[in-house]
Structure 1
């Protein structure tokens, strides 16, 4: 059986507390459970107070066969940031906002750069999704099309460095769009002449969407999966709708993180669950304890 754990973001103390609460025991420097296995949905790094220790806990569990883990968008950005081009020049010479939170991770590893280099290499061995038959795990969005592309980017057990160079240099490529689909989900980008004001009085330029639903004839509020604000009940013009990936009611249960659901809901549909309880903002870490059920059960959610 599996315990699917939400975005940890460097909060090692909460992670240890959650593991102990679920009956995991630390032996020989790693946590394990006699009959269960942890599954991490990505975004282990950045933001929290003990990032390096968080990676150490998760990596030791994965390497010891006591956990599984997928990559999140924060890990993807970390790998890209440290790549160099063919001339040996750092690939990212002007860090965008997506790289800013990474500096906390880099600073924490400053006294052990070789350890960080080794951890970055380890991150490239992690999958972008996990399909266990009865349950599925991905960081942000389950897309069969993106998964087909993801299956082609591994070589000798690792994602090739040239793949990440392509992601950075060619954002419109099939590889880039597929990787970001799995780790960032579907975003609705607002055209420059359309201004929708949320309940904070702000006009967002893009919103995170409920990718598992059909988007046609839905309002901004219905399509939004934002946690920090509420959008109005105006129908979204079909001309600006991106492709979504309606998740069938009879499909295996899918777990993901990414969306910072501090106040929930976490169980979205009987077979769709977001386990990201916004650990940095809400100060809580969430897990779902799957025991073989076909329909998600609220009583299986556990939080510290």
Structure 2
């Protein structure tokens, strides 16, 4: 690879390989011997390459080929982690058949990925090995990349105790025990911060799951009510949104300050026209697999997120329109 002059941060792909090819070409990448490359830039994927979409194997091949050619880097998303745990047997004496139990709910989330590999067991095994070795985060001189949230104290401990930015097989097995540091790190980094709904409340999300927790902002420094910290596609019921946060609630919140390095994440299913969250945080997940947008940000060492540097493929308009019965 030539000297890298700029980076292209790319949001959650979720098996949308055709849209990804369109986006890469829009960004100036061209196929060379079957692999997308750019003469002076590198793509950085924020994770969640798999699940839900129509071309999961193709997406994985495309991204892995780019990584192996030096044309890209990728961090692990929660969907890659779930897939890895679902397919990894528990160790003798652990009491676990697999690190992620094979419940109907867990199978439903992974169904498209499992179906895609049903006739390709060796290929699945190869990709699982590759996924296990994905970095959890990337940190450069002036910016950072992680799937959901940057928990500085946990990352500092990880770097001190384990070195680097990748997990081991032992780390993976410990990460499913909710009492461990390993579990806390993976939960924060790959799923973000969340808060329990008050008074035992339950909401049904757009994907049909009943949830007792909701995703929270990790950059809000002056939150007063639940509405001030919610960060997810599904709104809170009005009575809950208006409730004041307790001191215990406030203690759960992280704060990524505006004096920190630029931070690029995915995970959060945004909609509308891509824009910065704050002057130094950009979320690149715009619901591509739900006929939203597959989004990139063209980073050229600017000190603040520039709203003009988002590039995207509008899936519904440019790839195909939603069909009757599609769940949006």
Q: What TM-score does the superposition give when structure 1 sets the normalisation length?
A: 0.90
The alpha-carbon deviation at position 286 of structure 1 amounts to 0.4
Partners of 2:128 and 2:294 in 1: how far apart?
A: 24
Is 2:15 the partner of 1:10?
yes
Match of 2:324 in 1: none
Q: Where do 4+ consecutive residues of structure 1 move more than 2 Å?
A: 85-100, 148-155, 193-200, 228-234, 237-245, 263-266
The 2-side partners of 1:284 and 1:173 are apart by 36
- Quote the offset at 1:172 in angstroms: 2.4
Alignment pair present for 1:228 and 2:237: no
Note the C-alpha offset of 1:250: 1.7
Does structure 1 residue 165 correspond to structure 2 residue 170? Answer: no
Matching of residue 131 in structure 1 with residue 139 in structure 2: yes
Are the counterparts in 1 of residues 31 and 37 from structure 2 also a CA contact under 8 Å?
yes
Q: Which is helix-richer, 1 or 2?
A: 2
Distance in 1 between residues matched to 2:251 and 2:212, nearest whole Å: 14
Is 2:192 the partner of 1:175?
no
The size of the alignment, in residue pairs, is: 299
- Residues of 1 paired with 2:110 and 2:81: CA distance? 11
Question: Are the aligned partners of 1:195 and 1:203 in contact in 2 as well (CA < 8 Å)?
Answer: no
Pick the aligned partner of 1:107 from 92, 115, 119.
Answer: 115
Matches within 5 A, 1:11-26: 11-26=16-31
Matches within 5 A, 1:201-216: 205-214=212-221
Verify the 8 A CA contact 1:186 1:244 in the aligned structure 2: yes
Residue in structure 2 matched with residue 268 of structure 1 by the alignment: 277
Partners of 1:239 and 1:286 lie apart in 2 by 36
- The 1:142/1:91 distance shift into structure 2, 3 A limit, reads closer
Q: Does 2:295 align with 1:286?
A: yes
- Corresponding position of 2:323: none
Query: Cα 1:173–1:68, aligned 2, differ >3 Å: closer, same or farther?
Result: same
Separation in 1 of the partners of 2:178 and 2:22?
Answer: 39
* Contact preservation (8 Å) 1:140, 1:183: yes
Q: Distance in 1 between matches of 2:210 and 2:102?
A: 26
Distance 1:218 1:161 in 2: 41
Describe the shift of the 1:208–1:265 C-alpha distance in structure 2 as closer, same or farther (beyond 3 A): farther
Alpha-carbon spacing, 1:293–1:245, altered in 2? closer, same or farther (3 Å): same
Work out whether residues 139 and 258 of structure 1, in 8 Å CA contact, stay in contact via their aligned partners in 2. yes
The verdict on how the C-alpha distance between 1:273 and 1:91 changes in structure 2, with shifts beyond 3 A counting, is closer
Shift of 1:45: 0.3
Q: Which runs of 5+ in 2 are unaligned?
A: 1-5, 314-328
Q: Name the SS of the counterpart of 1:269 in structure 2.
A: coil
* 1:243-273 per-position Cα deviation (integer Å, ceiling 9, x unaligned): 2221122211100000000226641111011
Within 5 A, what are the aligned runs for 1:188-207?
188-191=195-198, 193-195=199-201, 205-207=212-214
SS at 2:232 equivalent:
coil
Give the Cα separation in 2 of the matches to 1:188 and 1:266.
25
Change (3 A) 1:102 1:242: farther
Quote how far apart the aligned CAs of 1:237 are.
2.2
**Distance 1:290-1:158 versus aligned 2 partners, 3 A rule:** closer
Give the deviation of 1:52 after TM superposition: 0.3
- In the alignment, the residues of structure 1 paired with residue 312 and residue 214 of structure 2 have an alpha-carbon distance, to the nearest angstrom, of 27
Distance 2:158 2:31 in 1: 34
